[in-house]
Structure 1
Amino acid sequence: MALVCVETLFSPVEAEIARTRLEAAGIDALLFDAGIASLIGPGVSGIRLMVLAEDEASARRLLADPA
């Protein structure tokens, strides 16, 4: 099970919203580096949104849709 990064976000709130959107669509997602980003501050350290490789295309499509 390989994980891939589908997006890097610089706001913890935006990262959590994106993760929740994926989860609501049935795509398991994890946030990497959220802890260090919250310590350093928003906009400095990116938070990686990770999904399974087989879910990458679906996740990217969903995240590209602004709805």
Structure 2
Amino acid sequence: MARIEGLDTDGKKVVKIDPSQVVVGKDGTISINNDDLKKFVTEKKEEIANDLHLILMGSSCGCQCCC
């Protein structure tokens, strides 16, 4: 598979999500309404592998990749 445009050198797409953009449904379904994430998934849908992982990290998680 070719390299997907918009990913960093580690193959990650980092998008800042505001808590107000997250909705947890009564059935436990989580919806994220973020324009950057929506645009990336819409434009790259055919290129994204079936084993895509979405990792949610808080700003106080201690990592240096997104803070």
TMscore range, shorter length:
under 0.3
TM value normalised by structure 1: 0.25
Q: Which structure has the highest strand share of the two?
A: 1
Q: Larger helix proportion, structure 1 or 2?
A: 1
User: Highest CA radius of gyration, 1 or 2?
Assistant: 2
